[in-house]
Every structure is written in C-alpha cells, then in structure tokens.
Amino acid sequence: MSVAIITGSAGLIGSEAVGHFIEKGLTVVGIDNDMRSRFFGEEASTAWNRDRLTATHGQKYIHESVDIRDDDAVDGLFQKYGSDISLILHTAAQPSHDWAAREPKTDFSVNANGTLNLLEATRQSAPNGVFVFTSTNKVYGDRPNSLPLVEQETRWEIDPSHTYNDGIREDMPLDQCMHSLFGASKVAADILVQEYGRYFDMPTACFRGGCLTGPGHSGTQLHGFLSYLMKCAMTGTKYTVFGYKGKQVRDNIHSHDLVRAFDAFLQNPRCSAVYNIGGSRHSNCSMLEAISLCEKISGKKMNWEYSDDNRAGDHMWWVSDIGRFKADYPDYELKYNVPEILQEIHDQNVERWAKAETS
C-alpha cells in the first residue's frame, strides 16, 4: 500500500489533492481538525468538504482529526504507516494576515511548529517520502511594492522594461521588508522545509503560491479572495476592497493546476526545491476586474465599498514567474484562467450559496 499523508485535507488544495492522488492509486490519510472554523467562523468550516470526501472515496480516504501542533499525535500517525508513506503534502495553515495579528503565538505554532513536527516525523518514520509544502508569495513580504508600477485604468502594472515583467522570480530577496506576522511564520516554515531537504538529503519542495483558488474553497472575508468575492456577488453580501484604489493585481491558480504541479514534482523529486507558482501572465486580475467579472457571471450588481486603508504587508502587484518550475518540468502547462475559475466557482456553489442566502 502506498500512502499519501495530506494535511488540511478538507481545505481547498487538500481536498483537490485527495481526489487526485486517490485516482493515481494511493491511499490518502487526511489530517484536518477544521481549525479554519475557529479562525474565521462557521461560514468557513470545512466540515462539508470532509463529509464529501469520506462519502465519495470510502476506504481509500482515512480521515484523522489531528492538530499538527500535537507532536505525539503526528508522530504516532507517521509511525503507523511508516515506509508505506510515499508523499507528505502539507497544505494546513493559518492563512490570514489579519488573523495572525490577533493571535501571533497561535499563528506561529500552526504554521511554523506544525511544519517542524511534520518534517521531523517524516525524517524519523518515512525518510524516503516526498515532502511538498504549500508556501506562499508572502514570504517576500511587501518588497514587490518597491517595483516600478504604472497606474492603468483598472489595475497597477509593472514597467514593461523591468526584469520581472514576465512575473516575479525566486531571486527576489526575502528580508528587510514588512511581511505581516503571517508572512513571518510562513517564512520560518519555508526555510525549515528547505533546510531539512539540504541537511538531511530529503526530497522537499516549497511551492510559493499566489492566490490559490477553486470551487472547493470555503471563502471568507479574511481569506479566499475569488471564492468569497463570488459568494458576495451571489448572496448580496457587502464586500470591502482595501486600498490601492482597488487596482491591486493578483495571479490566481486553480487548485487543479496546483495539484498537477505537486504531482509532477512527486514523479521526479528534487532536494530542497523552491518554486514560485501561480497563475502567472496566464491567469491574473485586479480587484476591479474581478468585481466586473463576478457581476457578469452572476448577473447581479455587487454590493461593495472601498476603504483607503490597505492591509499591512499587502501586495499592490503580484504575478508569479513560473519559469523555474517549467524548466524542471517542461510538460507542465496551466489550464485555467480567471474567467474560467470564476465561472466554475459560480456553477459549483450556486445551489449551496442560494441556501445560505435564504437561511
């Protein structure tokens, strides 16, 4: 039996990965204690997705309601499956800038200490397992805001003569800038994953994601940009745009495209790899552009307001250069763009969100 351990298995990326790797023939042990509902409230609970996974996949999916900060529980789980573990996909996290500032110790313990627990359990019980970490572009802090940006009608855009015109590469420095406490805890985890790869010669990768999105997202105001935006469009909930004239740009990668990148790495792993991964020039939008698309797809006028106060450490412009990953995995191509992502989010959630609107 070949086992994949997936943390955050009922979340957006985790649940996408569960189905993908079961289809590939692996048995998946999912670790998820629905801490997202504690972070963001009942509307962000992943319980619905956990129930869907157990109903859909039967014995091929084994759910464990384990807190990754519980070192003994994590060790016991890894010891149980031992050398059968071929993949450790770590997607669990506290993912919000704003929430991290409320409880810095909790944020750090989940993002950094939880990652350390998983790395050490892998080293002790499954040293040949491939460790894939869902990192974030927030490891670069607000340094992208120092790039030469040009204001356009609906977005900020980089000066086309700049070396990052095709997107931001992994050579952007990490320090001497504001990260937010969330960004700092993810930096710690990111460096740990790299160091375990180098120091212990383990196959590890950090995928520094842009906006990760898709229909399986339990979007909420503090996390889940496109999902929550479409939910607001469909339910009439007021949405607040924070700063930068609503022209801040994000690249958006569909969960399916991201999991395919993880799978490519699993097939040909490297030691201590680091990749910027996102929608790149193929799939990106500003807030204003996303609002317009949501209105077009939902057929409803959005109820939104603007606040001049941008979130601390937030990016004005982020587009990933995925050239390093494509150089290592030349057959990889992104499939989804932003309009396709939003259409799918709408179509697969219209019934669920209609119930939420009337309840």
Domains of the chain: 3-358 (3.40.50.720)
pTM for this one?
A: 0.93
Task: Write out pLDDT tens, residues 84-97.
Answer: 999 999 999 998 88
Q: Give 41's pLDDT tier (boundaries 50, 70, 90).
A: confident
Place of tokens 């759910």: 63
DSSP of 236-300: T--EEEESGGG--EEEEEEHHHHHHHHHHHHHS--BSEEEEES-GGGSEEEHHHHHHHHHHHHTS
How many other CB atoms sit within 10 Å of the CB of residue 86? 18
Place of tokens 């110790």: 105
Comparing CA positions, the residue from 180, 285, 159 lying closest to residue 222 is 180
Quote the pLDDT of residue 147: 98
Comparing CA positions, the residue from 222, 226, 238 lying closest to residue 99 is 222
How many other CB atoms sit within 10 Å of the CB of residue 317? 23
Burial degree of 21 (CB within 10 A; 0-12, 13-18, 19+): buried
Task: Write out pLDDT tens, residues 252-294.
Answer: 999 999 999 999 999 999 999 999 999 999 999 999 999 999 9
Quote the pLDDT of residue 227: 87
Q: Give 101's pLDDT tier (boundaries 50, 70, 90).
A: very high
Task: Write out pLDDT tens, residues 199-250.
Answer: 999 999 999 999 999 887 655 554 557 888 999 999 999 999 999 999 999 9
DSSP of 113-125: IHHHHHHHHHHHH
Choose between 338 and 222: higher pLDDT.
338
Q: How far is CA 38 from CA 45, 52, 129, 212, 226, in A?
A: 8, 20, 31, 21, 21
Task: Write out pLDDT tens, residues 220-230.
Answer: 554 557 888 99
